[in-house]
Amino acid sequence: MKKTFANFVQKSLVAALLVFGTLLLGTSRAEAQSSGAETWPTNWVDSGEAMLRVKADVDALRNDPLVQTVGSDSNIRVHYYKATYNLLAGGMEVPAAIVSALGPTGGNPALETGIAPAPGVNLNGAQRDNLLNYMKNRLSL
């Protein structure tokens, strides 16, 4: 009787720990997946409209004297906008184009066809995020 009760307690304890561990790990995964998906819009303008909006952004920066200064915010933005425009003109979908235009490390290693945002300039994470977030807002419905 003692042996049967000990086996029952041991098996119950193992089962309870397995259930608790599964719930704990399952919740962590769900939170990680949902937090990244919330930052991406689901409705985008079509490629033609996106190209018009990006061209307007380039034109707006045309008279900025810092556009010619390598590494300045205006210079980086113009290169990024032009890279995005060229990718859209080549038939790439809007979400892929705004990431690919950031270059090979634009946030998605699967997109290795990117164009560097500005020659001789290495962007830090905050700069990449700012450019990407601007385009997400600018090109979504």
On whether both 34 and 52 belong to a single domain, the answer is no
On whether both 97 and 128 belong to a single domain, the answer is yes
pLDDT of res. 8: 65
The mean per-residue pLDDT over the stretch 109-129 comes to: 66
Which domain, by its residues, includes 1? Answer: 1-38
On whether both 51 and 117 belong to a single domain, the answer is yes
| % of the chain exceeding 70 in pLDDT | 62
List pLDDT tens digits, range 51-79. Answer: 999 999 999 998 999 999 988 899 999 99
Question: Please, are residues 94 and 47 in contact by the beta-carbon 8 Å criterion?
Answer: yes
On whether both 68 and 112 belong to a single domain, the answer is yes
Q: What is the reported pTM?
A: 0.65
On whether both 83 and 105 belong to a single domain, the answer is yes
Tell me the pLDDT band of 95, cut-offs 50, 70 and 90: very high
On whether both 60 and 119 belong to a single domain, the answer is yes
pLDDT of res. 19: 56
* Mean predicted lDDT score pLDDT of the chain: 77
Q: CA nearest 105: which of 82, 137, 127, 134?
A: 127
Question: Is the confidence at residue 35, as pLDDT, over 90?
Answer: no
Q: CA nearest 76: which of 55, 100, 52, 58?
A: 58
Tally of domains in the chain: 2
Question: Is the confidence at residue 11, as pLDDT, over 60?
Answer: yes
On whether both 84 and 124 belong to a single domain, the answer is yes
